[in-house]
Amino acid sequence: MNNLKNLRGTVDLLPDQLIKWQNVEKIVLEQLARASIKEIRTPILEMTELFIRGIGEGTDVVSKEMYTFLDRGERSCTLRPEGTASVARALIQNGMSSNPLQKLWYMGPMFRYERPQAGRQRQFHQLGVEFIGYESVRSDIEIIALAWDILGKLGIKELNLEINTLGDLDDRLNYQKSFLKWLEKNINYLDLDSQNRINKNPLRILDSKNIQTKKILENAPKLVDFLSEKSHERYSDLKKQLDVLKIPYVENFNLVRGLDYYTHTAFEITSGALGSQATVCGGGRYDDLIKQMGGPNTPAIGFAIGLERLILLAGKDLEVPRTTDIYIINQGLIAELLAMDLSRKLRNYDLLVELDISGASFSKQFKKANKLKSKSIIIIGDDEAAKNEFVIRRFDQSGNGDNEEVISFENDIKLKRWLNNNLLAK
């Protein structure tokens, strides 16, 4: 086992770290349930072709970042780099006609072969939400508000929402013609990465982080000037409705996103607290994707939140585990059996019950209960076991306690009364 390590860019999440993950996930899942959004689970492994067709061959994700391999049947498989294409495939494959309007969420690992750094991993996790079959601006607004409110519920502040519109396919083709002409004239002023993108994915040049390229791009033609009247109206409606909901936004005409399927609305939510990988949530509309993949003409919009980045932003209060309600100290053959039985009964009251199965001395078990700051303890030794009863008391950190009672194992009424007075009603 010497020198066996996890792969670069992947991480182990250990029990203490997972307390925060679980607390965050709980709040997120409650928000999704309140918005009546249903879960969908798709395989982590898909045919490579799905992502080539769904995300686009010229994108960074598909051209450089996919974990792709041949399986034993010589089929090209890929570990999913994102969830939208898989959801689209699953819906088409499972027949969409009976349910053309769907609000869906998914959560799980995604894989991209990127250079690992703070906030960027090769295996990371996303929460994704997809509204399928919805065309009106109201769905754009509900999606953006949902993402905004999930982050708000977690107490995350100093967030910036950036929005843009990419128009429809015709708008983009018109724009691309004139942008390409401009790029050809200015090619020598662009950084190398952007020069390489001219033939593969010219729109992504707009997203360049290179300072000189950014400066030159200020003079490039703007996509908003090529929008049809309908696309313009749609975008103005979006902004108006965001104003009504008092969700603050900044327009960023260079926000094109890294995946080819977007149409009309594109948005990102960033936080200054995240450093260079500042985007916690990215999303947009993809009205052509499902049709392009062989399904019916189905407008759709969605977003994905990077969970690692979300966890970094969420408050320290979410790192605190739920406290133990009852710690059961026990010793002796019969006592151990009775303790096991009692722990199962108590857990039915939704109490966090820790049964000590260490076989250690009473004093060590007391110390453990103390360390855990358990709210109460139960003691079962040979004497108690012989009388078929146990001692229960509230516990304070000095090792003392109050409200002590001796309760028979059969006396559920007395037990329930004690729990109600001391734990459940609090």
Binding site for ligand HAM (CB under 6 A): 82-84, 112, 114, 120-121, 124, 126, 128, 130, 258-259, 279-284, 286, 302-304, 306, 308-309
Place of tokens 């791009």: 217
HEC secondary structure over 223-256: HHHHCCHHHHHHHHHHHHHHHHCCCCCEECCCCC
Q: Minimal distance in Å, beta carbon 84 to ligand HAM?
A: 4
Q: Minimal distance in Å, beta carbon 184 to ligand HAM?
A: 29
Q: DSSP string of 150-208?
A: HHHHTT--SEEEEEEE---HHHHHHHHHHHHHHHHHHGGGS-HHHHHHHHH-GGGGGG-
Q: Minimal distance in Å, beta carbon 1 to ligand HAM?
A: 28
Q: Minimal distance in Å, beta carbon 271 to ligand HAM?
A: 10
Choose between 194 and 270: whose C-beta lies nearer to ligand HAM: 270
* Cβ atoms of 44 and 108 closer than 8 Å: yes
Pairing state between β 376-380 and 326-330? parallel
Q: Minimal distance in Å, beta carbon 273 to ligand HAM?
A: 13
Choose between 121 and 164: whose C-beta lies nearer to ligand HAM: 121
Q: Minimal distance in Å, beta carbon 96 to ligand HAM?
A: 17
Choose between 216 and 307: whose C-beta lies nearer to ligand HAM: 307
Nearest to 206 by CA among 189, 221, 225: 221
Q: Minimal distance in Å, beta carbon 286 to ligand HAM?
A: 6
Q: Minimal distance in Å, beta carbon 299 to ligand HAM?
A: 12
Q: Which residue is nearest to ligand HAM (CB)?
A: 306
Choose between 80 and 393: whose C-beta lies nearer to ligand HAM: 80
Give me 4's structure tokens.
Answer: 């066996």
Choose between 109 and 221: whose C-beta lies nearer to ligand HAM: 109
Nearest to 256 by CA among 165, 130, 161: 165
Please give the DSSP secondary-structure letter assigned to residue 83.
Answer: S
Give me 73's structure tokens.
Answer: 């049947």
| φ and ψ at residue 351, rounded to 5 degrees | -100, 145
- Helices and strands, number each (H, E), in the chain: 15, 16
* Cβ atoms of 202 and 178 closer than 8 Å: no
Choose between 132 and 329: whose C-beta lies nearer to ligand HAM: 132
Pairing state between β 38-39 and 389-394? unpaired
Q: Minimal distance in Å, beta carbon 316 to ligand HAM?
A: 21
Choose between 179 and 303: whose C-beta lies nearer to ligand HAM: 303
Q: Minimal distance in Å, beta carbon 284 to ligand HAM?
A: 6
Choose between 133 and 282: whose C-beta lies nearer to ligand HAM: 282
Contacts of 148 (CB under 8 A, 6+ apart): 159, 161, 247, 269
Contacts of 248 (CB under 8 A, 6+ apart): 161
Choose between 179 and 267: whose C-beta lies nearer to ligand HAM: 267
Choose between 118 and 187: whose C-beta lies nearer to ligand HAM: 118
* Cβ atoms of 151 and 274 closer than 8 Å: no
Q: Minimal distance in Å, beta carbon 406 to ligand HAM?
A: 55
Choose between 141 and 380: whose C-beta lies nearer to ligand HAM: 141
Q: DSSP string of 358-402?
A: S---HHHHHHHHHHTT-SEEEEE-HHHHHTTEEEEEE--TTS--S
